[in-house]
Structure 1
Amino acid sequence: MEYKDMKMDDIIKRINELYKKSKEEGLDDSEKEEQQILRRRYIDSVKSNFKAQLETVELKKRN
């Protein structure tokens, strides 16, 4: 599966599915690896979006 082509909503949905499965029955090694990849993809996206927001912020001078 190409994780870089997945929509963020699908990534979040799959992360939640894997989390639920990990609590109920556990994950096999390939599912653990998938979970790590998806979490990293999500975190990288959040960081990128936050950085883009910060770049648009302008400081105002105080009088």
Structure 2
Amino acid sequence: MLDKDKIQRINTLAAKKKSGSITGEELSELKGLRTEYLKNFRSSFKKQVENTKVIDPEGNDVTPEKVKKIQADKNKNS
């Protein structure tokens, strides 16, 4: 998870970019921070999906087979 200071810096730099007053160095910093943010977001989202169980209205487990396989592999490695 990205700390609040980095998220605030992303927002500050994005506002500067929008206003047209961003420097090349700041633009590079913004790109790096956004890359880090997306990496953390994707990792967190992947973990959430891998730990999800899908149940239909009748109570049947309809979790996709790909997710079930990932969950089974994780349990073997634990």
Percent identity over paired residues? 33
TM-score (norm 1): 0.73
Unaligned runs of 5+ in 1: 1-6
Q: 1:1-34: CA deviations, max 9, x gaps?
A: xxxxxx4322210000001122234211110100
Structure 2 equivalent of residue 49 of structure 1: 44
Report the 3-state secondary structure (helix = DSSP H, G, I; strand = E; otherwise coil) of the residue aligned with 1:57. Answer: coil
Greater RCO (CA < 8 Å, at least 6 residues apart): 1
Deviation at 1:47, TM superposition (A): 0.3
Q: Which has the larger radius of gyration?
A: 2
Query: Distance between the aligned counterparts of 1:9 and 1:57, measured in 2?
Result: 27
Unaligned runs of 5+ in 2: 55-60, 63-78
Structure 1 equivalent of residue 16 of structure 2: 21
TM-score (norm 2): 0.61
Query: Do 1:8 and 1:42's aligned partners in 2 also have CA atoms closer than 8 Å?
Result: no
